[in-house]
Amino acid sequence: MYWYRKLSIKQKQVVWAWMFLSIPVLFYTVIRFYPTFGAVLLSFQDWNLLGAKTWAGLENYQRLISDPVFWKVFSNTFIYLLLGTPISLVISFMIAYNLDKVNFLHATIRAMYFLPFMTSAVAMAWLWRWFYQPVPIGLFNNILSSLGISQFPFLNSTFSALPSVLAPAVWAGLGFQIIIFMAGLRSIPQSYYEAAQIDGVGSWTVLREITLPLLKPTIVFLVVFSSIGFLRIFDQVFNMTTNDPGGPLNSTKPLVLMIYDTAFNGFDMGYAAAQTVVLFTILLIVSLLQLYIMRER
Partner 1 sequence: MSDIGIKTSAASLNAAKPYNYNKRMEPARVIRWTILFLGGVVMVMPIVFMLSTSFKWPHEIYNLMIIPDDPTIENYTYVLEDGRFYKWFINSLIIATITTISAVIFDSLVGYTLCKFRFRGRMIVFVAILSTLMIPTEMLVIPWYLMARDFGWLNSYWGIMFPGVMTAFGTFLMKQFFESVPDDFLEAARIDGLNEFQIWWTVAMPLVTPAISALAIFVFLGNWTAFIWPLIVTNDPALYTLPVGLTTFSVEQDVEWELIMTGAALATIPTLIVFLVFQRYIIRGVVMTGLKG
Report 155-174 residues binding partner 1 (CB under 8 A): 168, 171, 174
Q: How many CB atoms lie within 10 A of CB 85?
A: 22
Residue 55, strand partner residues = 45
Is 90 a binder of partner 1 (CB under 8 A)? no
Provide, rounded to whole angstroms, the least separation between the CB of residue 222 and partner 1: 8
Provide, rounded to whole angstroms, the least separation between the CB of residue 65 and partner 1: 19
User: Shortest CA distance to 130 belongs to which of 88, 168, 79, 160?
Assistant: 168
Residue 2-21 contact track with partner 1, rule CB under 8 A, x = bound: -------xx-xxx-xxx-xx
Is 180 a binder of partner 1 (CB under 8 A)? yes
**2-11 — which CB contacts under 8 Å span 24+ positions?**
none
| φ/ψ (deg, to 5) at 129 | -60, -40
Stretch that binds partner 1, among 62-70, 75-83, 98-106, 151-159 (CB under 8 A): 98-106
83 close to 166: Cβ distance less than 8 angstroms: yes
Report 262-291 residues binding partner 1 (CB under 8 A): 263-264, 269, 272-273, 276-277, 279-280, 283-284, 287
How far is Cα of residue 259 from the mean position of the Cα atoms in its chain? 16
Report 241-260 residues binding partner 1 (CB under 8 A): 242, 256, 259-260
157 close to 224: Cβ distance less than 8 angstroms: no
Provide, rounded to whole angstroms, the least separation between the CB of residue 276 and partner 1: 4
Provide, rounded to whole angstroms, the least separation between the CB of residue 109 and partner 1: 5
φ/ψ region of 102 (left if φ > 0, alpha if ψ in -120 to 50, else beta) reads beta
Within 13 A of 290's CA, how many CA atoms are on the CB side?
Answer: 17
Give whole-number Cα distances, 271 to 45, 50, 64, in Å: 8, 15, 8
Among 183, 212, 249, 294, binds partner 1 (CB under 8 A): 183
160 close to 248: Cβ distance less than 8 angstroms: no
Q: Give how many residues touch partner 1 by CB under 8 A.
A: 101
Report 209-238 residues binding partner 1 (CB under 8 A): 221, 228, 232, 234-235, 238
Among 33, 48, 58, 209, binds partner 1 (CB under 8 A): 33
Provide, rounded to whole angstroms, the least separation between the CB of residue 64 and partner 1: 15
Is 126 a binder of partner 1 (CB under 8 A)? yes
